[in-house]
């Protein structure tokens, strides 16, 4: 699909914006406790991708209580709220992701998750180990404030609560791509979309951003290696798929270290799961390896994918086995429209302070927000969630992941003020 090119004219009305927020600080402070309570509820009751049923019920009930037009069951469990301002104008979408991860929480919080579920036929704990609980609470807070100030809204706001950002379970569809397919950006047609992501390694009060490519395209690969089963005491009588897998893993890293121009953009190949064998003294017949590829340049992605196929096939055959590789696209490159970034940057600098809004480098993390950006101009930025002065913090997707809740209010301010400014 032809990508829409966003061109934003800096008109004189933009230059006349007030240097103060549209809503007073006291208005924001009045909702802070409610936002934190919502966050804690979602954190204590997390749900996996495409299974966010109770989460969606809470969101929908809140949006309906605000008098918004509410759509449920979007992309399975997504919720969309539509707020029409008092004045005509453009259509702005604000997005929050709502799903959790198959991670067992290790934090000692009074609202820690003890939820258990099953993922890929394996019993797992469930945890908001990436901060989606905070995104959901922030957008619910922004929706409440904006619904109370429709007289300041020139246009329409779509609040998009998206399921399955972490990826739908194997064999299912979901997430942003399914929302787009089902028409979430239509009726009314969205002009631009904005999203944020809290970050456990960015201090509270800080906002990070980057025009252009800001997060990587993500791919999931599955490599199946077939050998020949034999007794562990007689490896010469068989073909060892575990040995072949070890050679393939080593070769895949040379694609990155010796064949990819990392001065251009970063790239990563990581193996996350290997399944093979049933006993300590049997060399198995087959092996399955699952991993991810992250790229910020489509030509680099093409080369890496091609070499992964060639190396897996060649190495397996050299050791007497066979290899079958499948690579599936999970997200595209999260590509912030430069014109939209420039237009909204003054708002972020106003709400956070100019010295607290920092231009950052791209990351090899991935976001399916990118699928919205393939249809309309979008801006995706990062919100600080680390206690200032902290000596360290745990990364996302880990059992010890933790967020300082004092950072949530800035997220509410940013989303609210962006809405009022853009639609003005």
The answer to whether the beta carbons of residues 248 and 223 sit under 8 Å apart is yes
Q: Token pair for residue 382?
A: 């990062």
Report the pLDDT averaged over residues 392-412.
95
Cis status, amide bond into 155, omega within 30 of 0 = no
**Could you tell me which residues are beta bridge partners of residue 181?**
none
Task: Parse the chain into domains and list their residue ranges.
Answer: 12-211+337-423, 217-330
Per-residue pLDDT band at 9 (split at 50, 70, 90): very low
Q: What are phi and psi of 171, to 5 degrees?
A: 90, -5
Per-residue pLDDT band at 383 (split at 50, 70, 90): very high
Distance CA 357, CA 348 (A): 7
Per-residue pLDDT band at 372 (split at 50, 70, 90): very high
pLDDT over 70 at 11, yes or no: no
Q: What's the pLDDT at 10?
A: 39
pLDDT over 80 at 356, yes or no: yes
Distance CA 102, CA 118 (A): 8
Which CATH number is correct for 12-211+337-423, 3.40.630.10, 3.40.50.720, 3.40.50.300, 3.40.50.970?
3.40.630.10
Q: What's the pLDDT at 389?
A: 84
What percent of the chain is predicted at pLDDT more than 90? 92
Q: What is the DSSP string of 186-239?
A: TTTTPSEEEEEEEEEEEETT-EEE-SEEEEEEEEEEEEEEE-B-EETT-GGGSB
Pairing of strands 87-97, 116-119: unpaired
pLDDT digits (tens, 9 = 90+) for 93-142: 999 999 999 999 999 999 999 999 999 899 999 999 999 999 999 999 99
pLDDT over 60 at 4, yes or no: no
Distance CA 235, CA 228 (A): 10
Per-residue pLDDT band at 80 (split at 50, 70, 90): very high
pLDDT over 50 at 12, yes or no: no
Return the axis-axis angle of helices 25-44 and 132-147, rounded to nearest 10°: 140
Question: Could you tell me the fold of the domain covering 217-330?
Answer: Alpha-Beta Plaits (3.30.70)
Q: What's the pLDDT at 18?
A: 45
Burial 93-108 (b: 16+ CB within 10 A, else e): bbbbbbbbbbbbbeee
Q: What's the pLDDT at 366?
A: 94
Per-residue pLDDT band at 388 (split at 50, 70, 90): confident
Catalytic residues: 99, 165
Smallest Cα–Cα separation from 313: which of 222, 225, 221, 220? 225
List Cβ neighbours of 198 (8 Å cut-off, separation of 6 or more).
131, 134, 135, 382, 383, 384, 385, 403, 407, 408, 411
pLDDT digits (tens, 9 = 90+) for 227-275: 999 999 999 999 999 999 999 999 999 999 999 999 989 999 999 999 9
pLDDT over 90 at 197, yes or no: yes
The answer to whether the beta carbons of residues 129 and 101 sit under 8 Å apart is yes
pLDDT over 60 at 282, yes or no: yes
Per-residue pLDDT band at 392 (split at 50, 70, 90): confident
Residue with tokens 């809740």: 405
pLDDT digits (tens, 9 = 90+) for 209-219: 999 999 999 99
Report the pLDDT averaged over residues 294-319.
97
The answer to whether the beta carbons of residues 180 and 355 sit under 8 Å apart is no
Residue 133, Cβ density class (10 Å: 0-12 exposed, 13-18 middle, ≥19 buried)? buried
């Amino acid at each position: 699909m032809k990508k829409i090119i966003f061109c934003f004219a800096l008109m004189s009305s933009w230059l006349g914006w007030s240097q103060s927020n549209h809503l007073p600080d006291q208005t924001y402070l009045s909702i802070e406790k409610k936002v934190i309570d919502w966050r804690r509820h979602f954190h204590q009751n997390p749900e996996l991708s495409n299974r966010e049923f109770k989460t969606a019920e809470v969101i929908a009930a809140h949006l309906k209580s605000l008098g918004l037009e509410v759509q449920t069951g979007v992309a399975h469990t997504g919720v969309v709220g539509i707020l029409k301002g008092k004045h005509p104008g453009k259509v702005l979408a604000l997005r929050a992701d709502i799903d959790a991860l198959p991670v067992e929480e290790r934090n000692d919080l009074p609202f820690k998750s003890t939820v258990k579920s099953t993922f890929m036929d394996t019993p797992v704990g469930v945890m908001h180990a990436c901060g989606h609980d905070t995104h959901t609470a922030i957008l619910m807070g922004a929706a409440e404030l904006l619904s109370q100030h429709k007289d300041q809204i020139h246009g329409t706001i779509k609040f998009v609560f998206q399921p399955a950002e972490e990826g739908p379970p194997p064999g299912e569809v979901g997430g942003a791509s399914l929302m787009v397919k089902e028409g979430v950006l239509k009726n009314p047609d969205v002009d631009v979309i904005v999203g944020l992501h809290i970050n456990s390694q960015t201090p509270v009060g800080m906002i990070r951003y980057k025009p252009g490519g800001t997060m990587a395209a993500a791919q999931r690969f599955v490599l199946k290696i077939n050998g020949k089963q034999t007794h562990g005491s007689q490896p010469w009588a068989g073909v060892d798929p575990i040995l072949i897998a070890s050679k393939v893993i080593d070769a895949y890293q040379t694609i990155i270290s010796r064949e990819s121009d990392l001065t251009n953009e970063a790239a990563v190949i990581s193996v996350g799961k290997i399944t093979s064998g049933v006993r300590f003294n049997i060399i198995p017949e087959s092996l399955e390896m699952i991993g991810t590829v992250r790229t910020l340049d489509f030509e680099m992605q093409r080369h890496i994918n091609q070499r992964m196929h060639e190396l897996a096939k060649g190495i397996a055959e050299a050791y007497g086995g066979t290899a079958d590789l499948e690579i599936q696209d999970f997200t595209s490159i999260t590509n912030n429209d430069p014109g939209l970034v420039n237009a909204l940057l003054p708002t972020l600098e106003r709400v956070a302070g100019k010295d607290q809004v920092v231009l950052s480098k791209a990351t090899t993390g991935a976001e399916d927000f990118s699928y919205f950006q393939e249809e309309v101009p979008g801006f995706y930025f990062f919100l600080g969630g680390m206690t200032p002065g902290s000596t360290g913090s745990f990364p996302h997707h880990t059992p010890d992941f933790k967020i300082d809740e004092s950072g949530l209010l800035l997220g509410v301010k940013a989303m609210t003020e962006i809405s009022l400014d853009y639609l003005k």
